[in-house]
């Protein structure tokens, strides 16, 4: 009986560990992979290009407003916005759940409700994917939140799939700021 429990439990624990850990990937490298210059729509309906942010480090948060880990990630991004100037780091959150029904108005309403509920000021730019999920399919195919850190030339410096705490983000941003100094 005990042997049967071990032969069943150990493979199950191994499989569970692989599933849990496989969703989080961190990469920081010198490959200078260039980010694609995609277009997105702001919450005010304006069309913007990613390359409009070149010149400063850009932290892109691909998220869904109704996603609990994404909501927690916003707290960590708020700490980034409080501890770095926009001349150092810009933040851009792109709601890639538009294809799942999160329209511009709904996104605005959900963000406002979330801000009111947790008493937080989210003072960075928010954008929307298109209804086909073009941006999400390209940049967040493994899920949300997905973070990309771009250097001031628009090169991908770092990516992370899943929630990432401020302390780790801060270390990576500081490393990139030092590199660009």
CB-based burial, 6-35: b 16+ in 10 Å, e otherwise: eeeeeeeeeeeeeeeeeeeeeeeeeeeeeb
Give the CATH H-level superfamily of domain 25-180. Answer: Glutaredoxin (3.40.30.10)
Backbone angles phi, psi at 27, to 5 degrees: -140, 130
Q: Is the full-model pTM beyond 0.95?
A: no
Cβ atoms of residues 146 and 97 within 8 Å: no
145 preceded by a cis bond (ω within 30 of 0): yes
Domain ranges of the chain: 25-180
State pLDDT tens for residues 35-70: 668 999 998 889 999 999 999 999 999 999 889 999
């Amino acid at each position: 009986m005990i042997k049967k429990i071990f032969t069943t439990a150990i493979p199950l624990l191994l499989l569970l560990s692989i599933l849990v850990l496989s969703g989080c990937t961190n990469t920081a490298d010198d490959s200078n992979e260039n980010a694609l210059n995609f277009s997105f729509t702001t919450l005010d309906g304006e069309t913007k290009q990613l390359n409009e942010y070149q010149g400063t480090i850009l932290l892109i948060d691909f998220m869904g407003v109704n996603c609990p880990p994404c909501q927690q990630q916003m707290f960590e991004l708020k700490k980034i916005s409080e501890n770095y100037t926009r001349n150092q780091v810009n933040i851009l959150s792109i709601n890639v759940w538009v294809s799942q029904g999160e329209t511009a108005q709904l996104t605005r309403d959900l963000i406002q409700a979330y801000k009111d509920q947790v008493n937080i000021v989210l003072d960075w730019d928010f954008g929307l994917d298109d209804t086909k999920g073009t941006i999400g399919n390209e940049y967040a195919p493994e899920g949300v939140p997905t973070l990309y850190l771009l250097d001031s030339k628009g090169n991908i410096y770092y990516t992370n799939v899943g929630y990432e705490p401020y302390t780790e983000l801060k270390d990576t941003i500081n490393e990139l700021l030092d590199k660009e100094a």
